[in-house]
Amino acid sequence: MTIDLAVIGGSGLYQFPGLENTSRHSVDTPYGPASGDVVVGEFAGKRVAFLARHGESHTVPPHRVNYRANLWALHSLGARKVIGVNAVGGIRADMGPRVIVVPDQIIDYTHGRYTSFCDVEGAEVRHIDFSEPYTESLRRELIEASAKADVAVLDGGCYGATQGPRLETRAEIARMKRDGCDLVGMTGMPEAVLARELDVAYACLALVANFAAGCGDEDEISIEEIFAHLAAATAEVPRILAQLLKS
């Protein structure tokens, strides 16, 4: 099967709006079950695969997502280009709620996750280059498509991946800021590195849901607000991807 684009939906994106003539694929992987069925259908005249990272009813927390199975399932169906849609908190002042960012760097603060397909008995050990964690050509496609769709996105930024599922302390975010992180999210890693191990092009559309701890005016982050901002940013995603598929 040829898949023109695969999309991994994050919090707030559990179905792909506008995906038509769909079929569902429950893929057996050597790493156990994926987060759910991969839904393959037509969108903007192309074949698109969609997988809800947290499951279609949001039952899989970030630290329990089977990232290897998800990437493996998409790859085995023929996906060679994957866009991860990720909810994030904004650290940089211009990355407030509802801003959309296409990051270009990552710092990984997660722990205890399977971060490599080499992590099984007898697998060949590979030390892949990860200097540029996202596929630059796919980042450019996303940025150009957003401009054509008239959706403002910021080009570049460092995504700090935390363990979750709790939000961070102010001190943790202050440290991440000193480290050079612009955004914080719980699911950007190991998704990006696993895509690279499979030679799958991968880029991230980071949707800012809130200012990270201590970065906004509020003393506390409200989950209701997070989901309201996320819904607004998520509504722009199909327009960006439709343009990307047209070019």
CB of 163 to ligand HPA, least distance (A): 10
Closer Cβ to ligand HPA, 79 or 186, answer by number: 186
CB of 162 to ligand HPA, least distance (A): 6
Residues that bind ligand HPA (CB under 6 A): 87-89, 162, 167-168, 184-186, 209-210, 212, 226
210 is in an annotated binding site: yes
187 is in an annotated binding site: yes
Who contacts 135 (Cβ-Cβ below 8 Å, separation ≥6)? 201, 202, 203
In 3D space, the residue among 79, 78, 77, 68 whose CA is nearest the CA of residue 192 turns out to be: 68
Closer Cβ to ligand HPA, 185 or 190, answer by number: 185
Closer Cβ to ligand HPA, 108 or 141, answer by number: 108
CB of 134 to ligand HPA, least distance (A): 18
CB of 100 to ligand HPA, least distance (A): 13
Q: How far is CA 1 from CA 20, 49, 246, in A?
A: 16, 11, 20
**Residue pair 198/82 in contact by the 8 Å Cβ criterion:** no
> What is the C-alpha radius of gyration for the chain, rounded to an integer number of angstroms?
17
Closer Cβ to ligand HPA, 133 or 185, answer by number: 185
DSSP-H helix ranges across the chain: 67-76, 136-148, 170-179, 191-197, 223-234, 237-246
Output the six-digit token pair for 240.
């960006």
Strands 158-161 vs 38-43: parallel, antiparallel or unpaired: unpaired
Tell me the residue nearest to ligand HPA as measured from the CB: 89
186 is in an annotated binding site: yes
54 is in an annotated binding site: yes
CB of 6 to ligand HPA, least distance (A): 22
**Residue pair 20/41 in contact by the 8 Å Cβ criterion:** yes
Distance CA(10)–CA(161), nearest Å, equals 14
Closer Cβ to ligand HPA, 87 or 153, answer by number: 87
Closer Cβ to ligand HPA, 36 or 185, answer by number: 185
Rounded (10°) CA dihedral 3, 241, 190, 27:
-30
CB of 230 to ligand HPA, least distance (A): 8
DSSP state of 173: H
24 is in an annotated binding site: no
Q: Which residues does the annotation place in the binding site for phosphate?
A: 11, 53-54, 187
Binding-site residues: 11, 53-54, 186-187, 210-212
Residues belonging to the binding site for substrate are: 186, 210-212
